[in-house]
Structure 1
Amino acid sequence: MEEYVKRQHLDQSGTLFQQNKRLTEASYAVSLLIAQQKKPHTVGETLIKPCALKMARILLGEEAEKKFNKISLSNNTVQRRIADLSSDIKEQKEFLFCRSLERNTRAVDVMEKVTEFFDHEELNWHNLCGVCNNGTPAMLGAKSGFQYVLEQVIKIVNYVKSSALKSRLFKQLCTEMDSEHKNLLYYTKKLENWKRKAEEGNFTMFESLSEVTINEPLDPGVAKDVMTHLSCLREKFLQYFPEIGREELALMRNPFLVKVNDVQDDLQDQLIEFQNDSGCRDVFEASSISEFWPKMMGSYPNILWKLLPFVTTYLCESGFSTLVQLKTRARNRLECEADLRCALSTTEPRISKLVQKIQENISH
């Protein structure tokens, strides 16, 4: 041990110091991958490292195998690495917290946890721009829970179908998620087509009903009921899925060409100021639409929030899905905040900074 400590005190330009630095960096990199793939911490020591040693020995020889063997991937080490990576991501202001509900899962219990975090971190509630949950009855009440989800779906459908670009991006997202369905249809148009076919006596869109009508025509009373049902269904969809106005789309595409009288009263004064801001016009001409609007958040938040029709439920659902993968029966005691943050975050942890911090602690 004394000899080991002496070797650790070599100056930072020494070979041993640099070697230890690379070993620590490799340990962090592998630990991050373990968290991102939602795997147990023991997989580093039981699978990844043995595989790496075999490959190093076969391809590079015994010396390389000895170097690989120095990479620490034990269960405790991986757990510490993931905790460090998680803390660094939090410092960069993404995925701020994750807490377990010890007893009840009511809305008041969730609010209590969130309030505790806001108070502890001295965050301002006025900076909160949107809230999204999974809409369960336990959160919002038996009736309002469904209503909340339905309202979110309405806004999502309208948003995705507002432009060809958003439809293509939505299709790409569904493909990446291995979704069975990849296209979002305007169901009002589909229902109109079905009603037209039904009026013509064509019921091929209903497989079971179509089989019945192969040999004999459908009873007129049943056919009338089908058309009445389709009409009512279409009315309900129009009620829940109103089309986005052209004014809103025009404001999103080019806010400098929109007439002030065409926007809502509460936006008109700010739009006048916006359109006469030469700095905003310069940024608009130099940026794409997706780059431009986030840059306007600080100066013209009211206009931007009108262009954001929903708080995305994707992050909410992907969070629940990741939690299910992480907290299995075999890992039911796992404190999963650090693993969740590493698995869900799009922010890259600063591994080099973490490695440097460890090396400084060793040198002292």
Structure 2
Amino acid sequence: MLIQVLVTPHVHKMSSGRKKKVRQYSEKFLKFGFIAAVHDERSPFCLICQQCLTNESMKRGRLEAHLKVKHSAYANSDMNYFKSLKEKFEKRSTIKSLFAAQTVTHSPLEASYEISLLIAKSGKNHTVGEDLIKPSISAFLKTVLEKDDKDVKAMPLSNDTVKRRIDEMSEDIETQLVEKLKSRKFSVQMDEATVRNSEALLLTYVRYIDKGEFAEEMLFCKSLETTTTATDIYNKLKHYLDINMIPMKNITSCAADGAPVMMGKKNGCLKLMKDENPEMLLVHCVIHRENLVSKNISPVLNEVLKSVIKSISAVKANAKCKLLFKKFCEDNSADHVRLLLHTEVLWLSKGNCLKRFMELFDEFSDFLSDTPEMKHLLTVDGKAHVSYLADIFEKLNVLNKQLQGTNKTLVDAKAKIFGFISLIELCQKHISNKNFDQFHWLNKCEPTDTAVQVIVDHLKILASDFEERFSDLKQVDFPSWVMQPVLVDVTDVSVQYQEELSELQNDESVKTLFNIKGVMAWLCDETETKYPNSTSFARQLLLPFPSSHLAECGFSAVNDLLLKKRNSLDIIKRGDLRLKLTKLLPNIKSLCSKHQAQGSH
């Protein structure tokens, strides 16, 4: 028994310690479509179905059976076929191979410029490079790619470094822009505004033709140190053009708002520019004029508008009242719980404010039923009037937005403005016949004859004011051959353009351009080369800015940059604004060649 007890554990130990046989991969298995698995060389990997088998299957018979049963169509394939599959598999892209296999072509210095450009585009603080971007890249490299972050640490992204990079790239872009403007025609739009600490800024945009497209860029942003007279503004522009050797005669047109300092007939800035360049076209911003028309409402409708504004202010002015109204709207399952205020500076706010008021009209009628303003709006005529105002200002807002944006021309503006005038005249007839289908909110009311007459009178005022304010635009002649050169009857065209247009209408290459790009085909180099006279005339009509919208957007960018945490940023001298607004790309490789990379401190 003692012997049995002593021997039995020994036998058990020997049996449990017996090693399991591990089969090795052989190159001969490739003729069955198998290679050694990348993650474990002891496992066979099928190149056809990309299935990984166990080590027990590392036998000729089992691998051959797998090929014949699951891939019978490839059973008779030769070795060359499977070798090609192996090569393709080894050349496949993976996350690690994308980063590890490629040679480094971008230095940390170049990456520093690229990231600084992104920081400027986003308008973020310069410290975000060291505080967020570098730690984020390091975390990604270590966690996902399992790589060292020494190159990231070597990348200079300190606050001062980012600032220098931004200034250098801004200067490079400005140099590119100036070189382009020295040798080509361009149009200008200008606007001046007051920002922090009552600082007056002048912002100027240019539009020129580059590579068959419109290019719109900020020319400069300058401070008006003392006064903001027309002479001050003109001198700023003239000085900038002179020091950069840009001829004033290259300016084909200038657009600005209707402020006397800009558009004054005797002493306005644009008048001073035209005195030096008589061929220049002066454009009063169409968006500004449209906004002036929208302010022209009758006394009856003005009282209704005031009642709406007072009702909204009654809720918004008091924090408790505002919270109670929000809770009241939630309890009534209203579509909205927030009110929108009307501000004269924000031109679209009037339409948005009225639309939201009508969407919450039932809630207002219950919540403020005792106020005199709401009692006025709850009358039959009062509700009809406010419904009409919400509808007409929504239409005016749509027109305003259509006049905004990049690459807009006077052709576009004229079509939209006079199309809207035709719509107003059509609405007059429909409303006179008590057909309110074109007015969403008014169609839900039952206006009295008195209310209908007030509405018709207002539509007449709008149409008349539009006609008067845009009379100059109506007189601008846009020949049909400029819009449709392929379809126009050549005999109806001026003699000086007939020869070129006759050839153009039989030029399949240029006809294709017009079919694809429409009137913008006049901007293409091919059109200019083949038909210089016609192209020159067409570009004179297309190049002018119809509004000062881009300058307004530029001031919005200024306000975004001058946040509370960045109120010490010198928007005039620093390059942040130009990089945020530009579409040009800085020559980073050239800038890098002037520096020696150094790590952040």
Q: Same fold (TM over 0.5)?
A: yes
Structure 2 CA distance, aligned partners of 1:282 and 1:88? Answer: 40
Alignment correspondent of 1:353: 590
Match of 1:227 among 456, 462, 470: 456
Structure 2 CA distance, aligned partners of 1:221 and 1:274? Answer: 59
Match of 2:224 among 88, 101, 108: 101
SS in 2 for 1:358: coil
1:19 positional shift: 7.0
Answer yes or no: is 1:149 the counterpart of 2:234.
Answer: no
Answer yes or no: is 1:123 the counterpart of 2:354.
Answer: no
Structure 2 CA distance, aligned partners of 1:106 and 1:59? Answer: 60
Alignment correspondent of 1:162: none
CA contact (8 A) 2:130 2:159 kept: yes
Q: Output the TM-score relative to the length of structure 1.
A: 0.68
**What do residues 295-354 of structure 1 show as CA deviations (whole Å, max 9, x unaligned)?**
366944334213446445342222112111112233233233511221111111121222
Alignment correspondent of 2:577: 340
Alignment correspondent of 2:122: 37
Structure 1 CA distance, aligned partners of 2:537 and 2:548? Answer: 22
1:31 positional shift: 0.4
Match of 2:164 among 66, 71, 80: 80
1:34 positional shift: 0.7
Match of 1:47 among 132, 150, 154: 132
CA contact (8 A) 2:117 2:166 kept: yes
Answer yes or no: is 1:254 the counterpart of 2:491.
Answer: no
CA contact (8 A) 1:135 1:148 kept: yes
Asked which structure has the greater CA Rg, the reply is 2
Answer yes or no: is 1:111 the counterpart of 2:234.
Answer: yes
Structure 2 CA distance, aligned partners of 1:192 and 1:352? Answer: 59
Alignment correspondent of 2:428: 195
1:74 positional shift: 0.6
1:356 positional shift: 2.3
**What do residues 210-266 of structure 1 show as CA deviations (whole Å, max 9, x unaligned)?**
64x3xxx61x3443343233234233334445779996343232168454655xxxx
Q: Cα gap change, 1:138/1:355 in structure 2, threshold over 3 Å: closer, same or farther?
A: same
Structure 2 CA distance, aligned partners of 1:96 and 1:230? Answer: 41
Higher relative contact order (CA 8 A, sep 6+): 1
**What do residues 260-311 of structure 1 show as CA deviations (whole Å, max 9, x unaligned)?**
655xxxxx46424644778x96873463442433536694433421344644
Task: Give the CA RMSD over aligned residues.
Answer: 4.1
Q: Cα gap change, 1:203/1:253 in structure 2, threshold over 3 Å: closer, same or farther?
A: closer
Alignment correspondent of 1:132: 255
**How does 1:187-336 map onto structure 2 within 5 Å?**
187-203=420-436, 205=439, 207=441, 211=445, 213=446, 218=448, 220-240=449-469, 248-254=479-485, 257-259=488-490, 261-262=492-493, 268=494, 270-272=496-498, 274-275=500-501, 284-285=510-511, 287-288=513-514, 289=518, 290-295=520-525, 299-300=532-533, 301-308=536-543, 310-336=545-571
Q: Cα gap change, 1:98/1:308 in structure 2, threshold over 3 Å: closer, same or farther?
A: closer
CA contact (8 A) 1:251 1:258 kept: no
SS in 2 for 1:334: coil
Structure 1 CA distance, aligned partners of 2:490 and 2:522? Answer: 20
CA contact (8 A) 1:21 1:359 kept: no
Structure 2 CA distance, aligned partners of 1:257 and 1:206? Answer: 40
CA contact (8 A) 2:557 2:577 kept: yes
Match of 1:64 among 117, 131, 148: 148
1:24 positional shift: 0.5
Structure 2 CA distance, aligned partners of 1:243 and 1:138? Answer: 25
1:96 positional shift: 4.1
1:38 positional shift: 1.4
Alignment correspondent of 1:265: none
**What do residues 24-59 of structure 1 show as CA deviations (whole Å, max 9, x unaligned)?**
111000000011111121111222222222222222
Structure 1 CA distance, aligned partners of 2:431 and 2:116? Answer: 59
SS in 1 for 2:568: coil
Structure 2 CA distance, aligned partners of 1:314 and 1:190? Answer: 24
Greater fraction of residues in helix:
1
Aligned length, in residue pairs? 308
Alignment correspondent of 2:112: 27
Q: Which amino acid aligns with 1:102?
A: E
Sequence identity percentage: 28
**What do residues 90-114 of structure 1 show as CA deviations (whole Å, max 9, x unaligned)?**
2222644332222233332221111
Of the structure 1 ranges 28-37 and 122-131, higher mean CA displacement relative to structure 2 is found in 122-131
Q: Cα gap change, 1:19/1:245 in structure 2, threshold over 3 Å: closer, same or farther?
A: closer
Q: Which amino acid aligns with 1:352?
A: K
CA contact (8 A) 2:255 2:285 kept: no
Q: Cα gap change, 1:106/1:195 in structure 2, threshold over 3 Å: closer, same or farther?
A: same
CA contact (8 A) 2:256 2:284 kept: no
Structure 1 CA distance, aligned partners of 2:552 and 2:129? Answer: 28
Q: Cα gap change, 1:202/1:95 in structure 2, threshold over 3 Å: closer, same or farther?
A: closer
Structure 1 CA distance, aligned partners of 2:123 and 2:289? Answer: 29
Q: Cα gap change, 1:269/1:88 in structure 2, threshold over 3 Å: closer, same or farther?
A: farther
Q: Cα gap change, 1:103/1:359 in structure 2, threshold over 3 Å: closer, same or farther?
A: same
Which runs of 5 or more structure 2 residues have no equivalent in the other structure?
1-102, 178-216, 271-282, 291-398, 407-415
Structure 2 CA distance, aligned partners of 1:27 and 1:311? Answer: 39
CA contact (8 A) 1:256 1:275 kept: no
1:197 positional shift: 3.2
Structure 2 CA distance, aligned partners of 1:315 and 1:286? Answer: 31
SS in 2 for 1:87: helix
Q: Which amino acid aligns with 1:148?
A: H
